[in-house]
Amino acid sequence: MKRNKLKHAAYILLFLFACSPLHVLAQVPVRTGPAPEAEIKKARAGVDAYPDSLGAHKTYIYALGLNNPQLEPQYKVWMEKYPANAIFPLAIGTVFYNAEMPQATPYLLKVAAMEPKNAKIWFMLSQDAWRRGETHLVKVYMKKAAMADTSNADYAAGYLASFKDIDPGYAQKVFDFVKRFPNSERGAQALFWLGEDAASLNDKIIYFEKLRNLYPPKNFNWSAAGMAGLADAYIQTEPEKAMELVDEMGEGKNWQIRKQVAGSVLRIDQLEKDKNYTDALLDLNRIKLPAYNHLSDYIALKKTDLMAKAGDIKAAYDSVAVKFAKLPTDQLDTALLFYGTKIGKDAATVAKDIQNIRKSTAAVAYPFELGLYTSDGKLSLNDLKGKVVLLTFWFPGCGPCREEFPHFQAVINKFKDENVAYIGINVFPLQDGYVIPLLKNNKYSFIPLRGTSAFAAEYYGVQGEPENFLIDKDGKIIFKDFRIDNSNERTLELMITALLQKGGQSN
């Protein structure tokens, strides 16, 4: 299963997921069913011969199978027989933990009680709590991990992250952390996220420049990653600085693309000053952006502005209409109505144009019928006819999925009296046990349905989670390929509003 990389507790896991050897046992493919009897006997003999070997226990557990009803009773027998030996709860707890299964919790807690100075166990418990949405326990356990090993930057970073979004002094805490761990990737990572999450270009530049100065990009991976955001901010404000930064960063493909973009923007700005809008547009149309960038809206709006200055208001209108139809923003809406008025279109006509663009790309959503977590029943897409459906494919251990949920919920709350259904299909059945606790602990309102990654890939083309869709009242997918965060909740609100309007998008 492909898991994409990127409030609060979700950030902690994203912050630490790249940590190296924090797992006590190496992660291995999950075997849910039993191996042949001979293999099981051989593995059991290994445990009998070497009861203190974590490797022997791992081999036995995977031979027996994680869903085997004999597994936990066997370990409870051993734990009763050897109550002072932490190896037995550690082995089964760690295997369940690595498989991201909620059965891990009692075993990890037992080890923590026996070995309260074991920082790795507290860290594992924090991630296990995160999967259940128990934010308060995430913070408690991360603090215990950080206190048990005060020299470990990974644990200190996890505890630091627990203050994000709830402490107005979080940025200062990051700067204090940087002073404490000046040579750690975790310091670079903390500054990276300050820049990445900054709401304004000015703040992005401040944080990313600090990142660049304190953690040389050639020596720190997270600093190198942040330079893409800094380059994109420079392209929009001071493209000369972008050129200098790109030259410093080297010959990588994405850096060469950014260099071409920065050079083009410099030429376009000069052509615009010379009122040579035709050539400026030709240059702009040649721009190809890197796969991941912060420039899409900037380039789109610059294009429409140049079209208008060149005298082709209709082309400017059409260009912004296509952009707005796919991912609406208030800025695009303002431009759309401005250019629409210029060519004699009123608000109703503009709305009709957008509706027609969306209708031309609409596709019928697969009419799923999947099991509910809240009862023994099922829910089908046909049951939701007449409602706008926000559909997300996710799983409890997916950091980017969890990062989106608070933003989804904030928008959905604005439509609680409207015909809107919020559906979440879990694609990882081994994590089923986390689903209901996660919803209850976070007060999320989405209806959880049982799915698999194979189902998501076959019927909705999902390649990685989260993958989101907005389906209109007639069961057609109108919006897809969107992600929501603190910077664009308004986009989701505009999309839902459009589909709630009389006639929806399919008529």
Sheet holding 388-394, edge to edge: 363-364, 476-480, 467-471, 388-394, 420-426, 447-450
- What pLDDT sits at residue 164? 85
Within the chain, which residue ranges are assigned CATH 3.40.30.10? 369-500
pLDDT value at residue 501? 87
CA distances, 301 to each of 13, 70, 270, 280 (Å): 36, 63, 17, 14
End-to-end CA distance of the chain: 37
Question: Which CATH number fits the domain 185-311, given the four candidates 1.25.40, 1.10.8, 1.20.1530, 1.10.287?
Answer: 1.25.40
CA distances from 407 to 247, 413, 487 (A): 37, 10, 10
pLDDT of residue 430: 87
Segment-wise mean pLDDT, segments of 10 residues, the chain, 507 residues: 36 39 38 87 96 95 93 97 96 94 96 97 95 92 97 95 87 96 96 92 96 96 96 96 93 91 96 96 94 90 94 95 94 94 96 96 97 96 97 94 95 95 96 94 96 96 95 97 91 97 54
CATH fold, domain 9-167, is 1.25.40
Locate CATH 1.25.40.10 in the chain. Answer: 9-167
Confidence at residue 6, expressed as pLDDT on a 0 to 100 scale: 32
C-alpha to C-alpha distance for 417 and 430, rounded to whole angstroms: 34
pLDDT of residue 450: 98
Per-residue pLDDT at 130:
92
User: CA angle, 463 as apex, 457 and 467 as ends, to 5°?
Assistant: 95
Query: What pLDDT is stored for residue 176 in this prediction?
Result: 96
pTM given for the model: 0.82
* Cα Rg of the chain, angstroms: 26
Contact residues for 322 (Cβ-Cβ < 8 A; gap 6+): 357
* CATH 2.40.280.10, domain 369-500, yes or no: no
Give the pLDDT of residue 30. 62
